[in-house]
Chain A
């Protein structure tokens, strides 16, 4: 198994659908992250979890709902999205939820979301 696995790799959904993105890490890390990457924009840090507790929520609309049932799994539940939410959603993990500790992020391959 690779370090960080994201499923599905591609997802097409209508604005009224409910879907979920899944991320699993096999590195024994304590922190997990969701990023949104849209064309021509900086990567947007959405949520950070440390030991299953949310430690950062960067003003993300409520139509995105994260869930971290344990330190190895992270979900992003999607509900009534807008076309502008179409993007590449990247999951990452790190040993600690602090860049100051000198750790690095390990990313998954991303889930490409298209909202029709």
Chain B
């Protein structure tokens, strides 16, 4: 399977806390992308990390990648109620080149 598997399936935190979600995958990758989806809407690209990168930052987002463990994590610092959404990873494999998504992590940030 070329899709990523996000974990946990659901996460509930208080506003101001950090949120960490994880992605595991099975194939060797070229890059891995994280997307966000507000309820009933389309996905929005957040960040891309290449296979030769270990960490990347974008505003309050921090993504790490461990290719030896075939895993990535997305950290959202100082969460806000507006961060409530589902988060998906898309590992782009070396063999294929398409975007496959899992079931996502549903994040609820309580004001």
Contacts and interface: CB of A to CB of B under 8 A. Distances in A.
Interface stretch (B19-27, B61-69, B77-85, B96-104): B96-104
Interface in A4-40: 4, 33, 35, 40
B30 interface: yes
Interface string A79-116: 00000000010101010011111101111111010000
5 contacts: A42-B100, A42-B103, A43-B102, A99-B30, A106-B45
Nearest to B50: A102
A99 B42 contact: no
Contacts of B100: 42-43, 45
A-B pairs, top 8 by smallest CB distance, nearest first, are A107-B42, A99-B92, A43-B101, A98-B97, A104-B45, A100-B30, A107-B43, A100-B97
A109 B101 CA distance: 17
Contacts, number: 65
B98 to A, nearest CB: 6
A76 interface: no
B97 A42 contact: no
A53 interface: no
A25 B13 CA distance: 36
Contacts of A102: 31, 48, 50
B40 A88 contact: yes
A48 B90 CA distance: 16
Contact of A48 (B43, B98, B101): B98
Nearest to A105: B99
Interface residues of A, number: 28
Interface of A: 4, 33, 35, 40-43, 45, 48, 56, 88, 90, 92, 94, 97-102, 104-110, 112
Contacts of B35: 105
B44 A107 contact: yes
B16 to A, nearest CB: 29
The interface centre, meaning the residue of A45, A56, A97, A104 with most chain B CB atoms within 10 A of its CB, is A104
